[in-house]
Amino acid sequence: MTGIRTLSIYIGMLCLALFTACQDNLYYTLYQDMPQHQWDSNDSLCFSIPPTEHDLDVAVTLGVRTTASFHYKDIVARAELLDGDSVISSTPMNITLYNNDGEGTSGGILVTENYSKPQALHMRANHHYTLRVTHLMRLNPLDEVQSVGIIVER
């Protein structure tokens, strides 16, 4: 009887986990590959965010994919939000690649993927927003950067 009760609890927890995993918070995501695996500070990466039908509050996160031989602890980038040709805001965003122990925050055999903290953004209905991203590091270009992207979640 105890085995059936335990099995029922596990099945219930699995169903609950599947239900919450199916909640779709992703609004938009796109990664751009870096030529020769280098990110030059003179190269602005532009991401056109699709317009919404209604006003929407979202969170924007920068992501970077680097090779295992990338030697820096973080990348500082600037994210400029444009509405048409007008710059609405400019925000520095830090992407930490290593924790205090010197271990990578997101491991992989060939490529590691790390993210900035999400930044709040209010999108007005039927506006065409563009997020322009550049890195602010002294070293230029940054080698071993595979791709840079954004994630926009509701």
Q: What is the pLDDT of residues 90-101, one digit of tens each?
A: 999 999 986 544
Q: What is the pLDDT of residues 19-33, one digit of tens each?
A: 545 557 999 999 999
Count of other CB atoms within 10 angstroms of residue 118: 15
Confidence of residue 120 (pLDDT cuts 50, 70, 90): very high
**What kind and span of H or E run contains 15?**
helix 2-21
Q: What is the pLDDT of residues 56-93, one digit of tens each?
A: 999 999 999 998 888 888 999 999 999 888 999 999 99
Residue 95 belongs to some domain of the structure? yes
Burial class, 22, CB count within 10 angstroms (exposed 0-12 / middle 13-18 / buried 19+): exposed
Residue 6 belongs to some domain of the structure? no
**Strand, coil or helix: what is 133?**
strand
Residue 64 belongs to some domain of the structure? yes
Radius of gyration of the chain (CA): 19
CATH number at residue 140: 2.60.120
Under 8 Å between Cβ of 121 and 55: no
Residues in the chain: 154
Residue 88 belongs to some domain of the structure? yes
| pLDDT for residue 100 | 45
The Cα 68–Cα 104 span in angstroms is 9
**Count of domains observed in the chain:** 1
Q: State which residues form the domain around 112.
A: 25-153
Is pTM, for the whole model, over 0.85? no
DSSP state of 35: G
**Strand, coil or helix: what is 21?**
helix
Residue 19 belongs to some domain of the structure? no
Residue 16 belongs to some domain of the structure? no
The Cα 3–Cα 145 span in angstroms is 51
Residue 80 belongs to some domain of the structure? yes
Listed residue (128, 43, 35) closest to 77, CA to CA: 43
Residue 3 belongs to some domain of the structure? no
